[in-house]
Amino acid sequence: MIISVKKLSKKYVQSLGGAVREVLTELDLEVAAGEKIAIMGPSGSGKTTLLNLIGTLDKPNAGEINIDNQLVSKMSEKDMLHFRNQKAGFVFQFHNLLPQCTLLENVLLPTLTYKGDKSAVNNRAKELIEFMGIKEQQNNKPAELSGGECQRAAVARALINSPEILLADEPTGSLDSKNAELLIDLLIDINRKMQVTLIIATHSKSIAKRMDKVYTIQDGKLVDWKE
């Protein structure tokens, strides 16, 4: 088992009035190594919150997240930073590429603190870019790329440190149907060829159907999805 989530709860205090909103309530989830799963639910249901908690971008109010026998929900900020850099890759709805950097430079950003062989990470970046089908654009800046090319560059950036988990939050939300299908094909290919565990938050039923398992967040808990 690579990911084990037990009785996970997350609350937010709303800025207006100070009311407490409970997003996740004693949520349980188990994901085996190499699985690909989809998390569905309406906007505001907690999909992004769950991915952020698994990826240590946020901390739960209660419950545990255990990944590869590491209790990540109780880690120090320093250990969480190391975990995020080495174990988890993130793909968001918008690519968040730096406009002043080339595609290749953007992919290499997570390796800036790497003290090992720079030529090795440069070669990996170029291999990932070629895998994503954007080799010809590697010296272009984001403004010179299409939305689909930028999002594929963002996936390459997420993979540069060879993470075990890829967390994709509505990764096709800003793409047209053709580029959305291409991106999902690539994510599934990555899951299969690189054995990266894939967790996608999505509204799309067609994307969900291509995953091994599909869950819906309902009243703060995960339930099996029923179409």
From CA 88, how far away is CA 161, in angstroms rounded? 9
The structural domains of the chain, with segments of one domain joined by +, span 1-73+166-172+199-227
Q: Which residues contact 16 (CB under 8 A, 6 or more apart)?
A: none
pTM: 0.92
> 84, 32, 92: which is closest to 56 by C-alpha?
84
What is the greatest pairwise CA distance in the chain?
54
Strand order in the sheet with 165-169: 88-91, 165-169, 197-201, 36-40, 213-218, 221-224
CATH of range 1-73+166-172+199-227; options 3.60.20.10, 3.40.50.1580, 3.40.50.300, 3.40.50.1970: 3.40.50.300
Lowest mean pLDDT among 14-23, 89-98, 149-158: 14-23
* pLDDT tens profile 26-56: 999 999 999 999 999 888 889 999 999 999 9
For residue 182, the number of C-alpha atoms closer than 13 Å in the C-beta half-sphere is 16
> pLDDT tens digit string along 164-211?
999 999 999 888 999 999 999 999 999 999 999 999 999 899 999 999
